[in-house]
Amino acid sequence: MPEPTTTVLVVEDEDSFVEALTIGLAREGFRVQVARDGAQALTLFDAVLPDLVLLDVMLPKVSGIDVCREIRAKSKVPIIMVTAKGSEIDTVVGLEVGADDYVSKPYRLRELVARMRAVLRRSPGDVSPAAAGGDAEAL
C-alpha cells in the first residue's frame, strides 16, 4: 500500500470512536492525527495543516461549533462534523458555522469515507490517491 498522503485531523474525545476511526482510516490510506479536545484541535490544526477535519460537536474545553468557526475563519479545509447531536437544528447550525457535511453517530465507516472523498474531490488543491478513492486499477 502506498504511503498515506492525505492527512485527516480527527477531533474526538470518545476512545471507542478514536480507535475505530484511526484504524479504519489508516486502512483506507489516510494519515490520521488525533485531538481529544477543542483546544488541542486548534493547536494541532495549525501544526499539522490537515487536508480534512472530522470534528465532534460535544468536546471538552472548546466546543466543536467554536472549533469549526475558528478553523473556517482562517482556512477553507473541508470539515465534516461527526456527532451524536443529530437533530435538524444541530445539523443546520453545524453547516451554517462552516461544516461541509454533517454525519450523525452511529455511522458506517464506508459511508463516512465516501463522504470524505467526495468533500476532498470538491476542495481545491491536489487530490491524493486516498482522497480519490485509492488505486484506479482497483475500480
Q: Is residue 23 part of a domain?
A: yes
The better pLDDT of the pair 2, 14 is held by: 14
Q: Is residue 139 part of a domain?
A: no
Domain that holds residue 52: 6-134
Terminal Cα-to-Cα distance of the chain (whole angstroms): 16
**Per-residue confidence band for 124, with pLDDT thresholds at 50, 70 and 90:** confident
CB contact at 8 A, 99 and 81: yes
CB contact at 8 A, 4 and 52: no
Looking at residue 106, what is its pLDDT?
A: 84
**Mean pLDDT value across residues 40-61:** 96
Number of domains in the chain: 1
Q: Is residue 1 part of a domain?
A: no
Whole-model pTM: value is 0.85
Greatest mean pLDDT among 71-80, 82-91, 104-113? 71-80
Read off the CATH number of the domain in which 127 is found.
3.40.50.2300
